[in-house]
Structure 1
């Protein structure tokens, strides 16, 4: 991945400075008296860099370019991490940073970080897509090779059995020839490998319901932006955002649903849709379309209800909106599904999802503008719905057989 990142950055006009630490490369690009700097850190197992060391490194890089005469300096770190938690703790101080989870092959941009940096997110996602496709091709090739080897072994066993049941060397030779012919002409091994590869490709396609929900959120945002400003609280209340006094006094209970598809600004929408796009796909494939819809809507409503109960008792008036409650429900349900599946499903692990929950709640609690009660309500509701509806892979297989 480092080589591909290096090639992409150089193609975009970035120059590279090699630091005295092999795991760290510094890319920069001058523009109109200013400079954009991208420190790239290969945070592999066995490499440890403390928060103070990281902050000192960032300061040294900044001072280097100040001495070169640059007045306007923009900087964003890219951290390739095998241990996301450790890398996140190391990099919480210093310049803005993105983390690339090497295990899951995905870009992590937390809520307090910039969504883009002069087109860098597209460049990084291109590299990630190339890595993902290469990994899938390798897995398909290995599967095909294994299946063909198994077919050859079966043919050799068949030849040996045939030879033992016949007298003389000529009979044995004929048996071997027949077995080899079967291997060359029998399409079972190749067909089986191709079928598995096709299923794997289909398995990684985006889930229909989740993709539809993402599109609905985006379309709703565009419609709202055309009619006004999504950062205007009064306008959002008028269009259906959650506002406790209107629910209490006017009984406008529809706001529990409409507020789930409204977002305050493009940054709010982008953060939520990125998480939903990736985690939601995994959950839908695991539990099925109808149960996924149940998790999404019950979690969204559950988060809205807990937020309403908390905010209705406060002196200040609060306007809330967003798919965060539903998304936390998706994450909570995903955590339960992962636990049932012994900690791993597709490219997700219980540990990673647990860390995602921890960091999301942590950043939410540290911000006064995030509705943490909606997050907590959605998380609890999603886990509860998954507990009720999802039985685990073995039970699902038994149910399918019984229906058949």
Structure 2
């Protein structure tokens, strides 16, 4: 989002900056009992802000300013978009200029203000250079760290023994319901998420973690992504152990990141569902992919299907709560 050039421009105009969300930045200036606000919105990811949401945000700004005695308020939204046809509807609800990242052009419709405190002369030069520089430094740090931890744990275990040896893995943190519930070694519900039985098991899980984790981390943010990942993984481990206890399977020893990975897949379903107009057929293809993956697990006797299913549905629930809470918080943060 906005970087040095845009910040410096507004700073030179004595605007103050406020970060509403990681996708919305506000610049405001109070002159002679009138207020000018420029709201910069990134609508290029899976997370989209609809016309109703942005209109609600504008109403919130107006209420706050009116409460402070400022009735003369001018607001302009600068919306980065990768789909002009989709975001064109914004012009019916708010004052907005569309910044088309595909053509690097500013789109100002006839019913919109043609100028805003002189920024129209500079916006095309500073807007897209900031967008490009922001993209370059968007690094999925949490996903990378999780992958590194899993790989390092695998290397450490292989240096001491064989990750294909079930009893060796049991002695190094694998999940066993008897040890967890009878001996109260509950830490295994957590440690089992970071150990893998063989290189193929590790590579498959890390590939899925990178492919899906990068997107989820970008949408939810680092902290929320890590929360969903760990909580889904713990819930998957817990349900799997309880299921093995109920059916009397004392011989089951398990481990792997797949429960947590299915959790972030569930969280992805939430994102696609709430943005289904933009996602289109992607949501149905993704659901089919999940079904095929679960079905494939049932054809393999070495797969912990209970953990996969528990992780997936816990990811839907946790991801849904986090997603809806974050959207409500976006509006509250504007106050």
Normalised by the size of structure 2, how large is the TM-score? 0.63
How far 1:384 sits from its partner (Å)? 1.1
Partner of 1:218: 151
Where in structure 1 do 4 or more consecutive aligned residues deviate above 4 Å?
none
Q: Structure 1's 400 and 338: CA in aligned 2 closer, same or farther, altered over 3 A? A: farther
Q: What is the rounded CA distance, in whole Å, between the counterparts of 1:377 and 1:222 in structure 2?
A: 28
| Structure 2 counterpart of 1:372, from 292, 302, 305 | 305
Mapped contact 1:340–1:392 kept (Cα < 8 A): no
Q: Quick check: 1:306–1:373 contact (8 Å CA) kept in 2?
A: yes
Q: Offset of 1:394 from its aligned partner?
A: 5.2
**Which structure shows the bigger proportion of residues in helix conformation?**
1
Q: Residue 103 of structure 2 corresponds to which residue in structure 1?
A: 143
Residues 140 and 197 in structure 1, CA contact (< 8 A), matched pair in contact too? no
Deviation at 1:256, TM superposition (A): 0.1
Tell me what 2:263 maps to: 329
1:236 match: 169
Alpha-carbon distance change, 223 to 348 in structure 1, aligned in 2, over 3 angstroms: farther
- Contact 1:344-1:350 at 8 Å conserved across structures: no
CA deviation string 1:168-217 (max 9, x = no partner): xxxxxxxxxxxxxx99xx43212112222333444xx3322122111111
1:38-97, CA deviations, whole angstroms, 9 ceiling, x for partnerless residues?
Answer: xxxxxxxxxxxxxxxxxxxxxxxxxxxxxxxxxxxxxxxxxxxxxxxxxxxxxxxxxxxx
CA contact (8 A) 2:233 2:259 kept: yes
Q: Is the 8 A contact 1:211 1:277 kept in 2?
A: yes
Show the counterpart of 2:315: 382
Q: Which residue of 2 aligns with 1:317?
A: 251
Which of 1 and 2 has greater Rg?
Answer: 1
**How many Å separate the matches in 1 of 2:196 and 2:144?**
17
Q: How does 1:137-286 map to 2 (within 5 A)?
A: 142-144=102-104, 146-147=105-106, 186-202=121-137, 205-286=138-219
Q: Give the Å deviation of 1:332.
A: 0.5
For the Cα contact (< 8 Å) 2:174–2:253, is it kept in 1? yes
Give the drift of 1:311: 1.4
Matches within 5 A, 1:79-98: none
Distance in 2 between residues matched to 1:396 and 1:340, nearest whole Å? 16
Relative contact order, higher structure (CA 8 A, sep 6+): 2
Q: Distance in 2 between matches of 1:297 and 1:290?
A: 11
Which position in structure 1 is the counterpart of 2:292?
359
Aligned residue for 1:390, secondary structure, equals helix
TM norm structure 1: 0.52
Aligned equivalents of 1:379 and 1:232: distance in 2? 28
Does the residue aligned with 1:218 lie in a helix, a strand or coil? helix
Contact 2:178-2:250 within 8 A present in 1 as well: no
Deviation at 1:251, TM superposition (A): 1.3
Q: Cα–Cα, structure 1 residues 343 and 376, in superposed 2: closer, same or farther, change >3 Å?
A: farther
Alignment gaps of 5+ in structure 2: 1-81, 83-98
RMSD: 3.1
Q: Partner of 1:391: helix, strand, or coil?
A: helix
Q: What is the alpha-carbon distance in structure 2 between the residues aligned to residue 194 and residue 212 of structure 1? A: 29
CA distance in 1, matches of 2:170, 2:237: 14
Looking at structure 1, the residues matched to 258 and 327 of structure 2 have their Cα atoms a distance apart, in angstroms, of: 31
Cα distance, 1:319 vs. partner?
A: 0.8
What 5-or-longer segments of structure 1 have no aligned partner?
1-134, 159-181
2:258·2:308 contact (CA, 8 Å) conserved in 1?
yes
CA distance in 1, matches of 2:262, 2:225: 13
Distance 1:344 1:273 in 2: 28
